[in-house]
Amino acid sequence: MDKTPFLTKEQAEKITKEFPTPFHIYDEKGIRENARLVKKAFAWNKGFREYFAVKATPNPFILKILQEEDCGVDCSSLTELQLAEACGFSGSDIMFSSNVTPAEDYKFAYKLGAYINLDDITHIEYLEKLTGIPETICCRFNAGGNFTISTFVMDKPQDAKYGFTRKQMFEGFRMLMEKGAKHFGIHAFLASNTVTNDYYPTLAKQMFQLAADLRKETGADITFINLSGGVGVAYKPDQTPNDILAIGEGVRRVYEDILVPAGLGDVAIFTEMGRFMLAPYGALITRVLHKKHIYKEYVGCDACAANLMRPAMYGAYHHITVLGKEDQPCTYMCDVTGGLCENNDKFAIDRMLPPTDIGDLIYIHDTGAHGFSMGYNYNGKLRSAELLLCEDDSVKMIRRAETAADYFATFDFCGIMDKYLK
């Protein structure tokens, strides 16, 4: 797969004259085209809706773009619910999927009329005492064991903290019906960042059979099945990207095989594809500050793990392009690092790049989801700006960079940082 930046060196250099590096930038054209492709892939299902996972990219400008493309939002906290409300989402536009959920979060979700997705059977009585049980309610399913496709173990639901067991799903549906629930959804998340067209159809087969069994044994009116996320992106150049049209067709075949004969041919399919929707359409732009020659070669950038945590946190691969040197041979092995006081503050280890110089602009691919949103302030590092490359090739700031005043603002009650808060 060709990992081609959506920015040229000339574009990036022009942008840096107004917005200093590092910054995250998103491609509006790519986001819109991808959202339309997802909708096309599931157009066979009249109730289909993509609920974008706000946790992936919690920026109101991004959420408004997706809203214009008829997406809903998936929220997991009070703050995300507040962001969704501020962007004009309400009622069935919102899925609320949370775990270890505080009372205030449930209350606000109920107030908004969101679809509430219960993560645990004990939350049935908890929610009933807080707000009462809404007429439409969803339960999250954990199948246990290992999740496999053919003989390959993709993930281990048995080790995940999420969801009801199969037995609890039946018990929970009966409890909810006794407490006034009239319509039901089923939700599951079994694997993360899969790069295979078989994942969703395999998950769908399991979910659709569960729905048919629940309908048969409890008589519950199941109105939607949420396949959640897990459809990933090709972070590495040698990976074959998912084909969302093939994935949608695979789910359709399983739907026709299982749900239609069970009398569930009107069930809506929901998805929550934060990574697939956004990751390829965001990049972290950073400039080379230093080069170090000791036991290894190091390229030091003005971005760090505080701007993109995934490589430091669990060794995630992000492809790197040295802008303007795309056609040069990759003959230079180096670690690409930031300036944190942590040795895992590395965007790449033993990565082959073109000969790289101080001042070069580095384009780190696929940061549009779980990039900026996982940022933090260790070492007093400040979160970067977020920019949008608009469809007309103009660039606008959609979140300003933090300043020292932002960092010190929570100290303002004591007065000792006043000179930095002006």
Exactly one of 301, 330, 341, 390 is catalytic; which is it? 341
As given in the structure block, the two tokens for residue 295 are: 């036991």
> CA 247 → CA 3, 42, 139, 199, 342, distances in Å?
22, 9, 24, 8, 40
Cis peptide before 237 (omega within 30 of 0): no
As given in the structure block, the two tokens for residue 197 are: 């067209």
As given in the structure block, the two tokens for residue 81 are: 């619910």
Pairing of strands 72-75, 49-53: parallel
Rounded Cα distance between 395 and 11, Å, is 10
Q: How far apart are the first and last CA of the chain?
A: 49
| Residues found in the chain | 422
Q: Residue 224: which of 236, 211, 237 has the closest Cα? A: 211
**Does the annotation mark 341 as catalytic?**
yes
> CA 60 → CA 57, 64, 112, 374, distances in Å?
9, 6, 18, 16
> CA 201 → CA 134, 243, 382, distances in Å?
30, 13, 42
Q: Residue 364: which of 274, 291, 301, 290 has the closest Cα? A: 301
> CA 218 → CA 27, 126, 169, 189, distances in Å?
47, 22, 10, 23
Rounded Cα distance between 109 and 126, Å, is 14
Catalytic residue numbers, as ranges: 341
